[in-house]
Structure 1
């Protein structure tokens, strides 16, 4: 039984012409070889599985070929090409920078560069995943990369160009590899299926190309896996089943149910999808991609962006005719929000069902309307109408009633009341006789005269009552307590009790040690023994002075603090002498000890 070789290795391109989807790079390299304008350092960067290492190996083989073709390709027949194809060439050295990223590895590489090739023109060093090198390794590689020997060529490959130092980038010719298009991937897969005798539907290959996301190595790996799963027969259904992809037919059915506002049908369809093992986030993501494809079909200019199976393109275009742009944009917003909040939802199934219910009644909830060339949201509710009020005509008022209801006291409110009543009387008697109008005017004048008369002659009883009320409201003058030693000690003790209730024990101790002395009738002195006691009392200055002023009913009460140290507290305390002090005292009393120390040349350990 022959050893199985995966398609990614078995069908790895051996010439520039067989490289898929990178014509802009292969053409440049072939022209450089033909014109003998090779750079000493190349940097191949791009996504995974698009041919970076493959192009590096082809370049290494071609520049050492003994019979280079006119189009810049290797002959694959000479000794150098044969040894390269068999993997025995000594002119190519590959280094994996992911596992050899230290300074010592780069130093070993630079030491090998000094030796010329035994056969061939060039020694090619391919460093894969070069962004994994450490900063010190990059710096150790700079000089060699800038001025290598004429027979040495470096090819660096990486998927993360932004991690490489600018000093390295400036020393290399940079080639950016692009993702392989789905059409190029499908053509390459069809060619391989023809060589291997695999029966594959084009729709299945298109699904594989979409799933690989422009990576040819992933596409070939998926192809090998499905071939083993289906025993050499690739169909659209078994490809979807193996890749765990939801068929687009379910999304078309969901849209039909939503357009009919049939929430029951949409929920039953989602339950069927859930029973097949598809989680809610997969459904939301797939449905959002489906809505995006339908939105792309609304304009013929962007139909090239439609990445679906060819057999479904007509169905997408028909669905685009039925759905409005406003509904599609609103649906994308709902699905995007639901997908973002999916991870935080406790009940995942209910969260997905709520999103589907919103989409079902989306057309009824919000409508996008054009207003003066712009877009605005308008809720579908009836226009509000103002409440109709019935006008009530004022009743005529006689002058006699005005005279009876006239207030006896002249106040602003009384004058306003009189003016209103007169105005109503005049408006109600517009159709009255001139005699009645004159009577109303005379009545008004009579009332005004009575008010002015009362205003000019205020009663003495009312004034005396006001004076009595003001006198009662004024607080009685507080009696000031005399500041004596006894009253001061009493107030001081009350404040200490407050501090005790507040559990401020440090302040209580210092307040009890303080001594008080009355200086004048409005001031006293606080004597403390240290600055620490003074600080504790100063911290309570605001509350203390307010307490004392309230106690004595005297706002002019003040105090000052004096620090008088206790002489007894400064008595030095005896302490034991150190070993040095003991020796000095012994030498002072007995000089021979010092002389003995000098003769014996002894050192004291203090």
Structure 2
């Protein structure tokens, strides 16, 4: 009886051309071999089962081939290739870093590097799962990896690139392997099935490719297992059964029952699924993937993301037309929450059934929400009207007060964005006007002069009406001119503010009394203090003091700065410093000598 060899080993690629799905790497390596531009260290990284170790072996065999082809492939006929294929080559050394990750293992490897190859051009060292090396082993390997002999080439392979030290990465030429696509996996499986004379259906191979998730080794292992189980027949049904995958037909039936809001049919279908031994989380995950595929079919731009069996593609596209995108998105949210809460649920079946009940009546909930929202949308579209602004309390209160003097007052109004200005009757009451400098302060108008004449104005829309009323209100305001700074006026203002601080019992009153003021111009002055404490008190009151002074002089441009006079003598001449603990004890001992004698008899220490 011939010994069985699994497909992953039997059909391992022997040349670069037979490597599946990694053309960007094999082409680069072949060109490097042809042009003799080989690096001394390579790092192959990527997911499991995508050909990292295989490419490392092919590279090691090809660079030692005695009769390499013009395309950069090994001939598989010379003594070097034959010895490599038989596993007896002395120029190629493989090390599993997962089980040989100590410093001693790396030192042994470094000792072997010193010896030149007896036959062939290069000695190739393939270190698999290199991320398992310890930090000490990495450090012991650094010097050799950076400056190896001309005949030594290192090929490192790993699935976890982020675990490798940056000093190692910087010394290697890095190649990133990608996951193998489903189409490439299916084509490779079909070739093997033809060679092995296995009757395989394409939908079954597509299911295997999806289950392998881009790993060719897993795909070959799954296919071997199913072929052994079925006796050489690989069809869609036994593949689903062996991989414990629920048929998509169940999901289509459940979706149809949910659209009809037939809860009994939905629960019956789930009961059939449960009797077949499928766990609830598997059902939730599978139905979520089914809903995701339907959502992908809704948009032609992302239709290429649909990864299902080809025989079901048309059915997915047809079913997606009958379901709204809002339903699919809401269903995905419900299923996602249900999956997250599945482990915490005590009654797993009830948890899944509650989720299915929510999904059954989800369309009704979406419809009710849409009906509640439609009337408001229709009202805004069908009956356009201006925006309703909030009532301004100041204007409303003015409207209620209509003194006799205000009834006879009229001011010309220029509403915003009106084609013709609206003119009111001439005003009989005088208007207070004062020529204002560049900076002014406006005082609130008396109640008698702020009456509105909105009753006499023509009808305007809400926004223009408010603007007109505000214009009338501002017209009657009393305007005060700004007062220039002077020594006397600033002194009076400063003393008034200082008195205010005294009334508040603020600590800043004393520094304000001692501060000196120097006027720079009609809008600027300086405050000079004698120490930092006074300066901090004055700076602390800056915001309130500025508002107070600007209000007194009716000028918002007045500003000041605080300076420390280095030549001034502080008003506080004697500062009382409290005595330290040691000084207090010495004073007590001088007054009461027996205290020291008591301390010595009791053998007490001093803690100053």
- Bin the TM-score by the shorter chain: 0.5 to 0.7
Q: Distance in 2 between matches of 1:381 and 1:266?
A: 31
**Could you say what secondary structure the match of 2:194 adopts?**
helix
Q: Which residue in the other structure is 2:155 paired with? A: 155
Post-superposition Cα deviations, 1:317-354, rounded to whole Å, max 9, x if no partner, equal 00011111111101100100111111111111011001
Q: Distance in 2 between matches of 1:341 and 1:315?
A: 31
Q: Which residue in the other structure is 1:276 paired with? A: 276
Cα RMSD between the aligned structures? Answer: 2.3
Q: Distance in 1 between matches of 2:599 and 2:144?
A: 78
Q: Which residue in the other structure is 2:131 paired with? A: 131
Unaligned runs of 5+ in 2: 377-591, 603-608
Q: Distance in 2 between matches of 1:242 and 1:379?
A: 49
Deviation at 1:566, TM superposition (A): 12
Q: Which residue in the other structure is 1:7 paired with? A: 7
**Could you say what secondary structure the match of 2:68 adopts?**
coil
Deviation at 1:242, TM superposition (A): 0.3
Post-superposition Cα deviations, 1:263-305, rounded to whole Å, max 9, x if no partner, equal 1110111011001001110000000000001111111222211
Is 1:341 paired with 2:317?
Answer: no
**Could you say what secondary structure the match of 1:341 adopts?**
helix
378 and 157 in structure 1: CA distance in 2 versus 1, 3 angstrom threshold: farther
Kept after mapping to 2: 8 A contact 1:33/1:72: yes
Q: Distance in 1 between matches of 2:230 and 2:180?
A: 26
Q: Which residue in the other structure is 1:103 paired with? A: 103
Q: Distance in 1 between matches of 2:143 and 2:23?
A: 32
Q: Which residue in the other structure is 1:307 paired with? A: 307
Q: Which residue in the other structure is 1:26 paired with? A: 26
Q: Which residue in the other structure is 1:38 paired with? A: 38
Post-superposition Cα deviations, 1:33-82, rounded to whole Å, max 9, x if no partner, equal 00000000000000000000000000000000000101100000000000
Q: Distance in 2 between matches of 1:571 and 1:215?
A: 85
Post-superposition Cα deviations, 1:209-230, rounded to whole Å, max 9, x if no partner, equal 0000000000000001000100
Deviation at 1:379, TM superposition (A): 5.1
Matches within 5 A, 1:521-532: none
Q: Distance in 1 between matches of 2:135 and 2:599?
A: 66
Over alpha carbons, which structure has the higher Rg? 1
Is 1:260 paired with 2:265?
Answer: no
Matches within 5 A, 1:219-368: 219-367=219-367
**Could you say what secondary structure the match of 2:125 adopts?**
strand
11 and 366 in structure 1: CA distance in 2 versus 1, 3 angstrom threshold: same
Q: Distance in 2 between matches of 1:269 and 1:22?
A: 43
**Could you say what secondary structure the match of 2:246 adopts?**
coil
Q: Distance in 1 between matches of 2:248 and 2:89?
A: 51
Unaligned runs of 5+ in 1: 370-376, 384-562, 574-606
**Could you say what secondary structure the match of 1:155 adopts?**
strand
**Could you say what secondary structure the match of 1:69 adopts?**
coil
Q: Which residue in the other structure is 1:75 paired with? A: 75
150 and 378 in structure 1: CA distance in 2 versus 1, 3 angstrom threshold: farther
Post-superposition Cα deviations, 1:411-455, rounded to whole Å, max 9, x if no partner, equal xxxxxxxxxxxxxxxxxxxxxxxxxxxxxxxxxxxxxxxxxxxxx
Is 1:87 paired with 2:83?
Answer: no
Post-superposition Cα deviations, 1:357-386, rounded to whole Å, max 9, x if no partner, equal 0010001112498xxxxxxx7758999xxx
Matches within 5 A, 1:176-195: 176-195=176-195
Q: Distance in 2 between matches of 1:368 and 1:53?
A: 59
Deviation at 1:132, TM superposition (A): 0.6
570 and 149 in structure 1: CA distance in 2 versus 1, 3 angstrom threshold: closer
Q: Distance in 2 between matches of 1:235 and 1:47?
A: 28
Deviation at 1:136, TM superposition (A): 1.0
* Residues paired across the two proteins, number: 388
Is 1:208 paired with 2:208?
Answer: yes
Q: Which residue in the other structure is 2:406 paired with? A: none
17 and 570 in structure 1: CA distance in 2 versus 1, 3 angstrom threshold: closer
Q: Distance in 1 between matches of 2:595 and 2:142?
A: 77
303 and 571 in structure 1: CA distance in 2 versus 1, 3 angstrom threshold: closer
Deviation at 1:570, TM superposition (A): 9.6
Q: Distance in 2 between matches of 1:342 and 1:6?
A: 38
Kept after mapping to 2: 8 A contact 1:367/1:380: no
Runs of 4+ in structure 1 off by over 3 angstroms are 377-383, 569-573
**Could you say what secondary structure the match of 2:179 adopts?**
coil
Q: Distance in 1 between matches of 2:145 and 2:330?
A: 55
Q: Distance in 2 between matches of 1:124 and 1:367?
A: 68
**Could you say what secondary structure the match of 1:154 adopts?**
strand
The TM-score, its normalising length taken from structure 2, stands at 0.62
306 and 368 in structure 1: CA distance in 2 versus 1, 3 angstrom threshold: farther
Post-superposition Cα deviations, 1:77-111, rounded to whole Å, max 9, x if no partner, equal 00000000000000000001111111111111011
Q: Which residue in the other structure is 1:444 paired with? A: none
